[in-house]
Chains A and B, each alone.
Chain A
Amino acid sequence: MMRSLLRLVSLISILIFASVVLAEDDQDTMPYIQSSAFNAPLLEGWENQSGDDFVQFHDAEAHATIRSALVEIGEPVAAAGSDLRRTFGIELGEPIYQDKVNLADGTWNVLVYEPDAVASASVMARRAGSQSVVISFVESDPEARILMLTIAQSGDARADAGTEIDLALSLLTSNNATDLVETTALSLPSGEWTGVVGDGFFAMGMVFGNDSYLALGEGDTENLPNLADAYNRTVLGFFVTPDNSAYLALALTASFAILALLILSFFWRSRNIQKDLELIESLNQTDN
């Protein structure tokens, strides 16, 4: 009986320690890039220029860069300006479009800049404690004008982004809904998009939650689906790993406390048994 038990215990112990070795060491492909402060989707086919505290992808052919960064400035619009100035050396000036949208992780400032005749910068920025998160799309294609923006849907949420595309076109381009000639459906990794082709422009829109995610292109818009997909995958996939280590400490403390109580109760009971025995002995000696 004892020998069998020892054999069983030995087997279990060997299994415990061997299971670590036996566990397959195949690291799953991480679809995200982890910076020191946040996570952003990995954009395949783009040149990865990421550093320790920012994630940045560049497409040389499209003259486009998508960047996510945590900036040490609490005011999001100022943080966006500072980050783009420091990274790309561009003075943004006044935005040609500015609004706010409420997404699951906070209120984001949506900003579109055209600092010169060639470059444009589409930015989303929100406060993160005393810092700001800035996600930017910067393009400098002399053959194209490409803008990205997110607009909250008004009233009841709709299945298509047609209304917001019309709004964005009227605000940011010389086109309007009457110029539309063709509407197409595009299925991209970021979601189901509606493409609107007009005279000299191409607009795309996707609905996610109560918001419409838009991409507007003028001139050479061949790369627009690829760029819209990459930027909006970054916007939708960006997240900060929560710092909840205090809860882990609390849970560990609770676990140890319960185990300690159980084990201490063993000692207390053993000691009480011993005391009882001593008391019985002393009573017995008194009787004798």
Chain B
Amino acid sequence: MTAKTKLLSARQTVEATPMPRALQLLTILTLVGFCFTLVLGLFVAGTDIQQGEIQRIFYIHMPSFFGAFSAFGLTVVGGILYLWRKSEGWDRVALAGVEVGLAFALINLATGAIWARPIWNTWWTWDPRLTSAAIMALTYAAYLMLRAGIEDETRKRTFMSVYGIFAFTSVLVTLFIIRVVPETIHPVIVGASPQNAQGSFEATSGVVMALVPSMLLWLTLMPITLIWHRSRIERRLEAVNRLKMRILTE
């Protein structure tokens, strides 16, 4: 095989393959669902008479956390399956899960801080829930930095799979900390809020109507669609890097 033939063959891998129909469908459904849930939260759900308009951010704030939960959960699945089957595809899913999950976690932190300013009269407080959420985001930011710092591909994939599995404990801690540590001011919507919670509101039928579709969207369609797109890019990126290496070594 000549160098030119090799290049042509490699190029076929790098060239963007047509988007699978399932991904096209997912992308359209995610976009429609995103607009639909946005309309529900911003225009259909009633205004909270005590908190005012800012309460509407709850329809993004809470679902974005569960979106991060779902994406980081896929990182765990990808990591386990990579360690088991040594398939690079699962490592790509794990990496994409971290990137998408981190974006969702940042949305969760940003919206929470902005909500807290008018309701708690502060942008940030070192409350157990807030602190654990910040640690969670930093843990996954560290994943990306560590990954970029390891040269050997196999070692990188193995190490990051293990890291991704253990990092999920930070997600579980963030999820359950307000059920375990009562000294929190963070409100709980499902179940009784902690005694010191500030900014609680009742889960009325109007709130549920806007929240449930948004939760389903952020928990399923959004992370799956974005992770799929990101994995495809990573596959092409790996192929072009291989091509570069091949040319450099020839």
Contacts and interface: CB of A to CB of B under 8 A. Distances in A.
Given A12-B216, A250-B114, A258 B103 contact: yes
B216 A247 contact: no
Contacts, number: 150
Contacts of A6: 22, 25
A96 interface: no
A184 interface: no
Given A13-B221, A23-B205, A24-B205, A262 B115 contact: no
5 contacts: A23-B208, A247-B57, A269-B233, A276-B244, A277-B15
Interface stretch (A83-91, A123-131, A135-143, A235-243): A235-243
Contacts of B49: 32, 34, 39, 239, 241
A24 B237 CA distance: 48
Contacts of A273: 14, 233, 236-237, 240
Interface string B83-120: 00000000000000001100100110011001101100
Interface stretch (B32-40, B126-134, B157-165, B180-188): B32-40
A261 B103 contact: yes
Given A252-B57, A284-B247, A19 B52 contact: no
B26 A9 contact: yes
A167 interface: no
Interface string B209-236: 1001100110011001010011001001
Contacts of B48: 241
B136 to A, nearest CB: 16
A9 B57 contact: no
B62 interface: no
A9 B204 contact: no
Given A19-B216, A273-B237, 20 more contacts: A9-B221, A16-B37, A16-B216, A16-B221, A17-B213, A20-B209, A23-B209, A28-B204, A28-B205, A241-B47, A242-B51, A244-B118, A248-B54, A251-B110, A252-B60, A258-B107, A269-B237, A277-B11, A280-B7, A284-B247
